[in-house]
């Protein structure tokens, strides 16, 4: 699979349009699921992915890295973040609040009561996770999705999001903790509960 992709990448770099289309088909769905969770709207996500793939084809000649996947995710992530900034109409304002040193709060599980909805199974838990992700600061959300859904290493996420590795580490931790807190707030008892 990996070797096949490398061959495709070599051919695409030499201008083989079909090889590029095959490569693009491999990443199309992963890119879309990231873009959708970043933007929340299917039409916007589709536009971003299509634009990113087209931009990748146009600048494939200048791509010198080894990981096409990381490279195309970088293009798509940047475009999704740009679109979020445009939505805010204040392009210069940062998407995320500056990170403090270690001010992350671990919320304690609430005492189970009659009004508290217990999360019986994964299905309900997944709804909570989706909702919690949607409320995360954009760059934290991108980093967490790139890690937990797409399986990128921290170094790759640093490249994709153009951030220091320490920043990536911090973003992932905060984001994951926020989702954990949202789950706990709904009565989640942890993986065994």
Neighbour-count burial of 156, counting CB atoms closer than 10 A to its CB (0-12 exposed, 13-18 middle, 19+ buried): buried
User: What is 122-189 written as a DSSP string?
Assistant: HHHHHHHHHHHHHTS-HHHHHHHHHHHTT---HHHHHHHTT--HHHHHHHHHHHHHHHHHHHHHTT--
List, in order, residues 6 or more apart from 18 with CB less than 8 Å away: 11
- Nearer residue to another protein within complex by CB, 88 or 104: 104
Give the H or E element holding residue 90: none
Asked if 50 interacts with another protein (CB under 8 A), we say yes
Give, as ranges, the residues between 120 and 179 that touch another protein (CB under 8 A). Answer: 122, 125-126, 129-130, 133, 144-145, 147-149, 153-154, 169-170, 172-173, 176-177, 179
Q: Tell me the site size for another protein, rule CB under 8 A.
A: 50
Closest distance to another protein from the beta carbon of 159 (Å): 14
Closest distance to another protein from the beta carbon of 114 (Å): 24
Taking the C-alpha atoms of residue 179 and residue 184, their distance in angstroms, rounded to an integer, is 9
- Nearer residue to another protein within complex by CB, 95 or 177: 177
Closest distance to another protein from the beta carbon of 167 (Å): 12
Closest distance to another protein from the beta carbon of 171 (Å): 10
Stretch that binds another protein, among 48-56, 65-73, 79-87, 110-118 (CB under 8 A): 48-56
């Amino acid at each position: 699979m990996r070797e096949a992709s490398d061959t495709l990448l070599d051919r695409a770099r030499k201008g083989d349009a079909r090889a590029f289309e095959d490569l693009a088909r491999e990443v199309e769905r992963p890119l879309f699921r990231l873009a959708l969770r970043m933007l929340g709207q299917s039409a916007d996500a589709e536009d971003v992915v299509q634009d990113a793939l087209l931009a990748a084809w146009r600048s494939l000649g200048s791509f010198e890295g080894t990981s096409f996947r990381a490279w195309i995710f970088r293009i798509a992530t940047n475009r999704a973040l740009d679109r979020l900034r445009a939505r805010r109409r204040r392009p210069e304002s940062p998407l995320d609040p500056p990170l403090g040193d270690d001010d992350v709060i671990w919320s304690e599980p609430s005492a189970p009561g009659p009004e508290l909805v217990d999360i019986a199974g994964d299905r309900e838990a997944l709804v909570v996770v989706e909702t919690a992700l949607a409320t995360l600061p954009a760059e934290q959300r991108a980093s967490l999705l790139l890690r937990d859904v797409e399986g990128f290493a921290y170094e790759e996420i640093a490249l994709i999001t153009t951030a220091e590795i320490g920043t990536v580490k911090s973003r992932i931790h905060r984001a994951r903790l926020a989702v954990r807190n949202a789950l706990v707030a709904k009565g989640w008892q942890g993986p065994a509960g």
